[in-house]
Amino acid sequence: MNRQALIAQIEKKKSVLCVGLDTDINKIPEHLLSESDPIFAFNKAIIDATADFAVAYKPNIAFYESMGVKGWESLGKTIDYLNESYPEVFTIADAKRGDIGNTSKMYAEAFFNAMAFDSVTVAPYMGVDSVSPFLAFEDKWVILLALTSNQGAFDFQLTENTDGEALFETVVKKAQEWATPEQLMFVLGATKTEFLERVRKAAPDSFFLVPGVGAQGGSLEDVLTKATNKDYGVLVNSTRGIIYQSKDRDFAEAARGAALKLQQEMQRILF
């Protein structure tokens, strides 16, 4: 998907909501466990219930991988369902991959060809040749880790170099030499409020994928006032705040209600 199509969808739905699909067999409603593929059944119901309000979906690959071959099948069905039933939504393989060139190429094959995701999250530690193989696919995106939402972000991402530049800023600066904002986004944790404007300044035209609103404590209002740009420029992820609102038969309805509430808040602040 190209940038124009993403922006058009944001304007149509008046939303920058991304729904995280961290689907855990131990957390989904019990009545789904009798389905032949409970994980896919859950995802399908959540997607159908929230697609009016969400512009992106982000399966967290670890949750599928932890279930082995079965999980990999559920993931494949989920991305196929999204592409067939909701071709307008932006899809993110939250995989945090990154390796030497010939290996990153294989990961790109996995997420862009074997499965047809629009984007994949990538870790920057190994540098340019670990990122560029993902950029060789037209209208496919790299979402590079810059400043993450977790506590461990403080261990290395804020280390300052001799110019007083934090590592996350070096990453954001350097990566923009590798790709344009038509193919490159950054991960920016909503929990790091004091840095939202600093990252926006370092990458004025880029989209940011923003996790950490809700369960992790980030403020939606802060993100939407400090990290946006003229093209909106953010995709705000919510996972636990949407998909696990109810463990009962009304789980999809409850997810729809939570997604609507977030969309309304986004519409109030952004549009």
Catalytic residue set: 96
Query: What one-character-per-residue DSSP string does 94-158 give?
Result: EEEE--SHHHHHHHHIIIIIIS--SEEEE--TT-HHHHGGGGGSTT-EEEEEEE-SSTTHHHHTT
Cα separation, 138 vs 22, whole angstroms: 27
Whichever of 7 and 167 has its CB closer to a second copy, that residue is 167
Q: Of the two residues 51 and 147, which places its CB atom closer to a second copy in the complex?
A: 147
Using the CB atoms, write b or e for 9-19: b if 16+ within 10 Å.
Answer: bbeebebbbbb
**From the CB of 135, what's the least distance to a second copy, in Å?**
13
CB of 10 to a second copy, least distance (A): 26
Element (H, E) at 39: helix 38-50
Q: At a CB cut-off of 8 Å and minimum separation 6, what does 174 contact?
A: 128
Query: What is the amino acid identity at position 234?
Result: V
Give the binding site for a second copy (CB under 8 A).
22, 60, 62-63, 65-69, 72-73, 76, 94, 96-104, 106-107, 109-110, 113-115, 123-131, 145, 148-157, 159-162, 167, 170-171, 174
Tally of CB atoms within 10 A around 77: 16
Residue with tokens 């939570």: 258
Query: Alpha-carbon distance 13 to 154, whole Å?
Result: 35
Distance in Å, CB of 270 to a second copy, minimum = 26
Nearer to a second copy, 83 or 150 (CB): 150
**How near is the Cβ of 131 to a second copy at its closest, in Å?**
8
Residue 107 or 195: which CB sits closer to a second copy? 107
Query: Which residue, 10 or 20, is less far from a second copy as judged by CB?
Result: 20
C-alpha 73/C-alpha 228 separation (Å) is: 36
> In DSSP terms, which residues pair with 143 in a beta bridge?
121, 185
Smallest separation, CB 200 to a second copy (Å): 21
| CB nearer to a second copy: pick between 29 and 59 | 59
Q: Are 128 and 171 in contact (CB under 8 A)?
A: no
Q: Residue 23 — φ and ψ, nearest 5°?
A: -85, 120
Smallest gap from residue 56 Cβ to a second copy (A): 18
